[in-house]
Structure 1
Amino acid sequence: MATPMPATTSTNFDHLPLHPSLHQLLRQRGILHLYLSQLVALEHVLSGKNILLSIPTASGKTLVAELLALQILLQNRDKHPKERSQWGKILYLCPLKALGSEKFKEFHDDWLNLGFRVGMSRSDIDQPDFHIFQNDLVILTNEKADSLYRLNSRIMKDVIMVIVDEIHLITDPKRGITLEFLLTRMLTQEISPLLVGLSATIRNAHQLATWLRADLITSTWRPVPLKEGYYLADNINFQDGSQRRVIKIPGHDDVTSLTLDMLKEGGQVLIFANSRKSAMSQADQLSPKVRITANETEKQLFSWVHHEFETKHLDDTYAAKKLAKVLKGGVAFHHAGMGSDQLHFIVDQYNAGHIKVICCTPTLAAGVNTPARRVIIKTLYRYEADKGSVLIPIMEYKQMAGRAGRPRYDPYGEVVILGSDPRKLEENGHAYIHGEIERISSKLEDPPMLQSQTLSLVVSQTVNSREALNRFINHTFYYHQHFVDSEPISEEIESSKLQTSTSKKKDRDDRHRRVGSPRKGGRGRDPLGLPMDDSEEQHSHFPLLFTSADKLLDSSPPSSEDNSASVSVSHSGSESDLDRESNLDFSVSKEKGSSCPPPTSLPDSSEISEDLSLSAVSADQTQYVPYPSSSSSYSTSKSTPVEKSKYMSGSLDTAISDTLTYFIRHDLIMTLPIEANPVETTSPDPLQPDLIPSDFPRLFATPFGKITNQSYLLPTDAVLLREDLAYAKSLEHSEEIEFHPVSWLHLLTTLHTFPKYYLRNGDYSPILAFIEQYGDNLIMEQIWEPVDPEFPEFAKEIKMTMILWDWISEIPGNEIAERYNVGRGDVHRIVENACWCLRGLQRIEKLEGDSLGEYEFEGDPMTGGLYHELLGLETRLRYGIRAVLLPFIEFHGIGRIRARKLYQAGYKSREDLTHASHDDLAKIPLIGDHLATQIIEQLASPKSKSRRSPSGKSSSGKRMTENTSFDKSTTSSPSLPSKKRFRIKRKKSLDDFLS
């Protein structure tokens, strides 16, 4: 293990008014000094101010947030030692489950020793696990927090502080709007919680800070100096003009030469590749070469790591076997397709120094802590399906570069850029090393997410009119960025407006149009006329895209070589001296949450909803004005009327109007007069052209709208599920279809939110065979043929359907991953997404069935009805079992493997188990004495029947036929049902298509 480096540019923290327990905690961790940026941040937040901490990676941002959170809880506990409800809750938001898991491990033991509970939600996104708020620190992903807030906004009443990790991801094209709306809800609460934003260094941090009413603390200082360069002609050319000589080893590539050079010095290496395949291939090349150069002690350590992996984490997938092989040389690879247990193992062993090199995709740079002395970036390009090979954003490069240098162990960090073209390498290297990071911008204009968030506001009655919705929008980062703290209109801002051009792809969903059916729009066609992004494979891509902007400061930031501790502070209010003696005074009120005064005076949600007299925001009116700091290095400019009308009265205003119109036409919301009772009034005639008349100002969610919001489905997906459900029932009624589990599995894969993966030539033959076998069971009017332009997208759906079908046919996950050339982690995500979407379909069917009286009868509700068939299918998806095992999966302690053992022992139903003795059950493999006792006790107790379903029974699929499991190797057409709606006619052979 390397010798810790002395902390530099740091300050003693004894003067801080921290709780004595925190002084003790810091010393227990070996922390005797704080960095200057940490010290300044703590002084601000200890005075009760919101802060945005925008400093480089590994500069200790998390410690600042943790100390503040503990300070609040400790002070409240001292005041109310016997009233835990008065302590308050801390909410920690993060973008990824992996990052949340890392923070949970980091906090858990120390917090528990201080008497505080830490909890993290790992359930599916639509599950109402409110029990997580029994903990003092609650760790949630942004989407999970948004989902729980939608289901019950009162969960936030005891939250007195919110920590937002990686807050700069508010600019994420797909997920940023979720975080933006979540923070806007918090800012408009009657009592707003204290906000602490943790961000990488970003270009326009001042805009984000003024929106949050936060003091901005920025610094370019790093605890470990960073040297950035590119490798050309046996030299690493650094940004300050210096060079480091690294002779290329004959017969080896640049990566190997640079890696072995650093390992000789005693450092570790991270190698970023632009695809999973490249990362795995690079690890395979490096492993034997690293082992040859290792000493005997290191070789023994590598062998031990290999043994640990083989013993605890090895499976039958190609990736796992490859990983076991490369671990023998102290090398590993890391990408999103691997199992979570394998990824945790790699990170833990690397951070312990047992693995020397990780070859990874850029996903490892998105928050997980894996520092290295040298970071090698193989290429600055990546492949995108619609654009080909493109340069990555500078922000993505900086995220990867930020992994260079481990505080206390590395004297410096290096990032080295590689490239195949010397001329382009030198040009791109200079541009990325000296270039400015792109500005972050609001993505509120994204049509699908705008629809989803707008519906959630109406369902919760945060807004109940168009005017109220406009006023809520006025408190978003979007409005603040464009109209309050706007920068000069530029090409970059122009490009951020709503796109009006259509996608180059023909909408894949036109293929599902039903001639003569009551549908108003085909699947995937946004009735608002707004673009809908097709989901592409994301596992090998960094999930962010950024747009450029003007500089944050007039002068360029200092070079990383200038490691002096310079900290800039911008205040959201009037500038004042720091009060070092001030104590933080937070308390909890069950009615209003934290009694801490909000950072600024903002209208609460009730004011937004009830003040119906205000009209929509006009082009020359600004209602949301920040308090610019006199010490700020920027000026706040007021937008001109022309600029404002360009946005609010233009594309966004039209999008909101079209969204509400779409909601009313598809029964998601209804408009009512102010004095009307929503229970007694029906929605207006959907055929009327003017659906939001002036005398119907109030907006209310319909039962269907509430179900959509509860399920966390995109409104367009929910509408299409509802329409397809009606269409499927009409086909069944006319005996044109025989339902099969594949019917519903394929329907789920057609949703916009369902992940899709690239196809390979070897996929087409089994896909066509599957279509031959199950084509008549698909809820479609037409099946596309290989010559049709829609076929590739349709084939992707079929591939996902095949994976799900194999999963519920009890094919092991490892075998599925191998069969379809995906990762084990991919299989898990596909199944998880299917369960989530299927629960949405269940709720829609239950709603439709209840409205017709289908499920309003006494007795066992599991004896019939499509809703209960779907419940059984969800259970099968969750556990990966055939229908015959449903009676056994209900028991606590019984999973897919033990359920199969019971079935193989001759038990076919729950009733069969009632006749079994304790000894008979105990001798079944994997059951044993203890579990046999539990099964008998559960059989005797009616309460035990509620584990999986309301009645304790699961549908065995009586209304669904289920032929034998599909064999991928079969290409001949099996027997089909006698009554067909269509027949597949190939115009070209498979060989012709593949050629």
Structure 2
Amino acid sequence: MKIECLDLPDEVKKFYLDSGIEELYPPQAEAVEKGLLEGRNLLAAIPTASGKTLLAELAMLKAVLSGGKALYIVPLRALASEKFRHFREFSKLGVRVGISTGDYDRRDEGLGVNDIIVATSEKTDSLLRNDTAWMREISVVVADEVHLIDSANRGPTLEVTLAKLRRMNPSCQILALSATVGNADELAAWLDAGLVLSDWRPTDLREGVLLNGTLYFKGLDRAIEQPTKDEAVNLVLDTLREGGQCLVFESSRKNCMGFAKKAAPKVKKALSVEDRDVLAGIADEVLENSETDTAVTLAACIRAGTAFHHAGLTSASRELVEEGFRAGRIKMISSTPTLAAGLNLPARRVVIRSYRRYSSQDGMQPIPALEYKQMAGRAGRPRLDPYGEAVLLAKSNEELGNLFERYIEAGAEEIWSKLGTENALRTHVLSTIANGFAHTKEELMDFLEATFFAFQYSNFGLSTVVDECLHFLTLEGMLEEAEELVPTMFGKLVSKLYIDPLSAAVVVKGLRGAGGSLTDLTLLHLICSTPDMRLLYMRSSDYEGINDFAMTHSEEFVKVPNSFDMVEYEWFLQEVKTALLLLEWIREKPENELCSKFGVGEGDIRAIADIAEWIMHVVTQLARLLELKGAEKAAELEMRVHYGAGPELMELLDMKGIGRVRARKLYKAGFRSLADLSGAAPEAVAAVVGPKIAERIFRQLGRDDAAGTEFSAEVQLPEAGEEKAGAGQKTFNDF
């Protein structure tokens, strides 16, 4: 099916023809035949790199150029950013694109001026909770990676959000994009959607197993060279000899880093002079963003043409790795499976070095076939590679046969709703009532009947779980004690703040029960005791130090469980460890020390700080509404957690380009406010933070006279007598 034959405006057809897209792939043509451009709901369950995004683009452009508005829902912020950058190309067609992934209690009404809005499912849910007006104007909803409804973490939110959008905008078109799953027909039926189910790929995918230096495919096997004792390294080198790039999936961060280091000396020999020059520049950028040991290791790997990629890296480092790989300079990335979750980063060959994953309940377990298919789907770059290869590693003939049976010849598993528990349902019951989607138990059940859970289980047991949720919400003062379901002011605020009602109850109970003054540690531990907080794991080496700290500071905790209750006390120690990380973060402990001491990566610190900032904002708002103590203290901590600094630096940190390290340097040099900086000599500021940053500071202050100044470092600095915040703070070794 030719692009020029589609029922689209001429400017859209020209846009794609100019981009080199003249004809649709078979699954895309099937989608058009089944009503894609006529507003019909569709589920496209097709392999990675088979053109799912183009389906979304065609539907969205058809709608917005007819006066409609499109919402593109993704599971991850990184994926939202990637899609946003891609869709901005539509500005050539006069289409405005916006992105919303930030604060959960904002309406973001300004986004309504855009024609296409990209958002995570959580942000979409929060926009609905905050009665964002433009949500009622949506005419096309695209749900990317919709198979994640099967996820216990993200699934319930995506499921309820889709149900709300369909209830609010009954005529809007739903386009769901999915990996191939075992019950795609059931998912399509729930959405009242036509089904496009295909295993067609634009690039041939060969799936095989490597055993003792021989690659076994269906009906074909071939030996590869074995210059090293590591078969995965040999696969990487074999890929490079053929002019391709390689993705290696590992089961842990440690293994990711270890394999990238192991392969680096061998890969480096295959680099051109131009490759080495470009890679040196990428490595320098990594070190400009971070000076941790992990960043130093990553930079060294990048110089050799390899890299590792996992959630412990900063977003800046991950993006540099991704860009270097897309440009063809980084030849091999070893990654945790997070890289398989939607990001567009294909390679000639994908190696699944370990197909087992650790589970705290069951130990090392084989990954699901669906996850394997997602990783294997990254093999083969459309229009660039003649084929793609996905390779598993076996150690025996028996294992080789098992891998073919379990993964290569198997279909993907069925997906199941995870909505039917009190923990999953509680927040959505409150938001459904607070938003006016339901005023009685009957109306609430009627709404929930529109969920995938009810479609699969016919509401089996749902009424009992709903009753438990309603009882809890009433008991905690979030619903009125009345015949109808009426939210209190407290309940409405909890819903708008996008917090688990149980977290809100923990916060309120903690603030009411706290005796004496609220310290930084009191509030940090309080937010760490909520179910919304991501807690650090306890290593065997942590127990003595964390326990001693907890005992020493026991009066600062709202509640300390009995140490004889092993399960409760274990959770408590995890809470204390996480709170201590945050405490040292706001006391400006260097990130490299935090990473080493707490066993985390920079990306983990930022992720935990983001969650902590959000929950501390919740503490502030709830304390103000209910007139509880701690509101102002929480507001201050919210800002300190955001920046990772002492309160005296907040004014300086409002400047763009000034992080906590530079702010502390300026403060120690005597520049303690914007007024101090505004009246300072440019040379004096440049001596502290460098000429580029100094020039940026003065531009923000409106000091145009400083632009282009020849900065000199040889100047007398103002007197400074301030000690660094947090001096004398304890470490684990002090306990």
Q: Is residue 302–residue 355 contact of structure 1 (8 Å, CA) maintained in 2?
A: no
Matched residue SS, 1:14: helix
Is the Cα contact below 8 Å between 1:211 and 1:480 reproduced in 2? yes
Could you tell me which amino acid in structure 1 is paired with residue 202 of structure 2? P
- Say if 1:902 and 1:242 are closer, same or farther in 2 by CA, change over 3 A: closer
In structure 2, the partner of 1:625 is: none
Deviation at 1:92, TM superposition (A): 0.5
Per mean C-alpha deviation after superposition, the further-off stretch among 183-192 and 463-472 is 183-192
Other-structure match for 1:384: 359
Alpha-carbon distance between aligned partners in 2 of 1:762 and 1:814, rounded to the nearest angstrom:
18
1:19-58 alignment, distance < 5 Å = 19-43=9-33, 44-58=35-49
Cα displacement string for residues 919-967 of structure 1 (whole angstroms, at most 9, x for unaligned residues): 4688434585784686599xxxxxxxxxxxxxxxxxxxxxxxx985523
**Partner residue of 1:105?**
85
Q: Quote how far apart the aligned CAs of 1:471 are.
A: 0.8
Q: Hey, what does 1:91 align to over in structure 2?
A: 71
Shift in Å, 1:866 = 2.4
Structure 1 168/774 Cα, relative in aligned 2: closer, same or farther at 3 Å?
A: same
Aligned equivalent of 1:118: 97
Q: TM-score, normalization: structure 2?
A: 0.91
Deviation of 1:444 (Å): 1.5
Q: Which one-letter code corresponds to 1:810 in the other structure?
A: E
Supply the distance in 1 between the matched residues of 2:439 and 2:728 (Cα, whole angstroms): 50
* Counterpart amino acid of residue 70 in structure 2: I
* Distance 1:235-1:749 versus aligned 2 partners, 3 A rule: same
Alignment partner, residue 967 of structure 1: 730
Match of 1:207 among 186, 198, 202: 186
After superposition, the C-alpha distances for 1:256-293 in whole angstroms (9 at most, x for unaligned) are 1222122111111111110011111111111101223x
Residue 222 of structure 2: which of 232, 238, 244 is its match?
244
Counterpart in 2 of 1:762? 541
Query: What secondary structure, in the 3-state scheme, does the structure 2 residue paired with 1:802 have?
Result: helix
Secondary structure of 2:364 counterpart: strand
- Distance in 2, matches of 1:753 and 1:193, equals 32
Q: Report if aligned partners of 1:230, 1:236 keep a CA contact under 8 Å in 2.
A: yes
**Equivalent-residue separation in structure 1 for 2:125 and 2:261 (angstroms):** 41
Compute the displacement of 1:299 (Å): 4.6
How many positions carry a matched residue from both structures?
707
Q: What displacement does 1:657 show?
A: 0.9
Q: Deviations over 1:340-370 (max 9, x none)?
A: 1111111111111111111111110000111
Give 1:131's aligned residue: 110
Tell me by how many angstroms 1:16 deviates. Answer: 1.4
Preserved CA contact (<8 Å) 1:394 1:438: yes
Shift of 1:899: 4.2
Counterpart amino acid of residue 83 in structure 2: K
Contact 1:204 1:439 in 2 (8 A): yes
Equivalent residue for 1:747? 526
User: Unaligned stretches of 5+ in structure 1?
Assistant: 1-10, 77-86, 484-646, 673-695, 733-737, 851-864, 938-961, 973-995
Distance between the aligned counterparts of 2:92 and 2:101, measured in 1?
23
TM-score in terms of structure 1 length: 0.68
Residue in structure 2 matching 1:366, options 329, 341, 346: 341
1:878: how far off? 1.1
Where does structure 2 lack aligned partners over 5 or more consecutive residues? 704-724
The amino acid across from 2:55 in the alignment is V
Alignment correspondent of 1:940: none
Contact 1:922 1:931 in 2 (8 A): no
Coordinate RMSD, CA, aligned: 2.5
Query: Aligned letter for 1:437?
Result: A
Retained in 2: the 8 A contact 1:461–1:700?
no
Q: Distance in 2 between matches of 1:747 and 1:845?
A: 13
1:196 pairs, out of 162, 175, 178, with 175
Q: 1:286 to 1:758 in 2, by over 3 A?
A: same
Q: How does 1:666-685 map to 2 (within 5 A)?
A: 666-672=476-482
DSSP 3-state at the match of 1:444: coil
Q: Could you say which residue in structure 1 is the equivalent of 2:720?
A: none
Task: Give the distance between the partners of 2:394 and 2:610, measured in 1 at CA.
Answer: 38
Instruction: Find 1:355's aligned residue among 304, 319, 330.
Output: 330
Amino acid at match of 2:473: F
> Would the alpha carbon gap of residues 930 and 195 (structure 1) be closer, same or farther in structure 2, given more than 3 Å must change?
closer
Which whole-Å CA distance do the structure 1 matches of 2:432 and 2:174 have between them?
22
Other structure's SS at 1:670 match: coil
2:571 matches 1:798: no
> Could you tell me which residue of structure 1 aligns to residue 625 of structure 2?
847
Partner of residue 704 from structure 1, selected from 490, 503, 511: 490
Q: Within 5 Å, which residues of 2 pair with 1:848-863?
A: 848-849=626-627
> Take 1:255 and 1:929, find their aligned partners in 2: how far apart are those partners?
49
Distance 2:659 2:107 in 1: 23
2:668: which partner in 1? 904
Q: CA deviation at 1:330?
A: 1.1
Partner residue in 2 for 1:271: 248
Match status 1:227 vs 2:5: no
- Separation of aligned partners in 2, 1:126 and 1:439: 35
Q: One-letter code of the match for 1:151?
A: N
1:665 aligned to 2:479? Answer: no
| Cα distance in 1, alignment partners of residues 175 and 300 from structure 2 | 44
Aligned residue number for residue 50 of structure 2: 59
| 1:780 aligned residue (559, 565, 568) | 559
2 CA distance for matches of 1:892 and 1:308? 23
Task: Return the alpha-carbon distance in structure 2 between the equivalents of residues 66 and 463 of structure 1.
Answer: 34
Query: 2: CA distance between counterparts of 1:55 and 1:931?
Result: 50
Is 1:13 aligned to residue 13 of structure 2?
no
Match of 1:718 among 481, 501, 504: 504
The secondary structure found in structure 1 opposite 2:174 is: strand
1:756–1:800 Cα contact (<8 Å) kept: yes
Q: How far 1:408 sits from its partner (Å)?
A: 0.8
**For the residues of structure 2 that align with 1:334 and 1:113, how far apart are their CA atoms?**
34
Q: Is the 8 A contact 2:108 2:132 kept in 1?
A: no
Match of residue 395 from structure 1: 370
- Contact 2:518 2:630 survives alignment (8 Å): no
**Matching of residues 502-541 of structure 1 within 5 Å:** none
Checking the alignment, whether the CA contact within 8 Å between 2:203 and 2:388 is kept in structure 1 is yes
Deviations 1:112-166 (A, max 9, x none): 2222221112423344433223222111000010011111153312111111111
Give the letter aligned to residue 793 of structure 1.
Answer: W
1:254 to 231, 250, 254: 231
- Supply the distance in 2 between the matched residues of 1:222 and 1:963 (Cα, whole angstroms): 57
> What residue in structure 1 maps to residue 637 of structure 2?
873
The answer for the alignment partner of 2:138 in structure 1 is 159
Structure 2 CA distance for aligned equivalents of residues 419 and 126 of structure 1? 50
What aligned pairs does 1:162-561 form with structure 2 within 5 A after superposition? 162-189=141-168, 191-238=170-217, 240-249=218-227, 251-292=228-269, 294=270, 298-314=272-288, 315-483=290-458
- The answer to whether the Cα contact below 8 Å between 1:393 and 1:438 also exists between their aligned partners in 2 is yes
Give 1:771 deviation, angstroms. 2.8
* Alignment-mate amino acid for residue 185 of structure 1: K
**More contact order relative to length (CA 8 Å, sep ≥ 6):** 1
Q: Which has the larger radius of gyration?
A: 1
Using a 3 Å threshold, how does the CA distance of structure 1 residues 935 and 772 change in structure 2: closer, same or farther?
farther
C-alpha spacing 1:241/1:891, structure 2 compared with 1 (3 Å)? closer
For 1:819-834, what aligned pairs fall within 5 Å after superposition? 819-834=597-612
- Structure 1 residues 225, 464: CA separation in 2 closer, same or farther (over 3 Å shift)? same
**1: distance between equivalents of 2:45 and 2:523?**
47
Identity %: 36
Instruction: Tell me, yes or no, if the aligned pair for 2:341 and 2:374 is still in contact at 8 Å.
Output: yes
Aligned amino acid, residue 96 of structure 1? L
Deviation at 1:64, TM superposition (A): 1.5
* Residues 303-349 of structure 1, C-alpha deviations (whole Å, 9 max, x = no match): 42133322454522222111111122211111111011111111111
* Shift of residue 32, structure 1, vs aligned partner: 2.0
State the alpha-carbon separation in 2 of the partners of residues 759 and 220 from structure 1. 44
Q: Distance in 1 between matches of 2:634 and 2:292?
A: 31
- How far 1:884 sits from its partner (Å)? 2.3
Answer whether contact 2:369 2:411 (CA < 8 A) is retained: yes
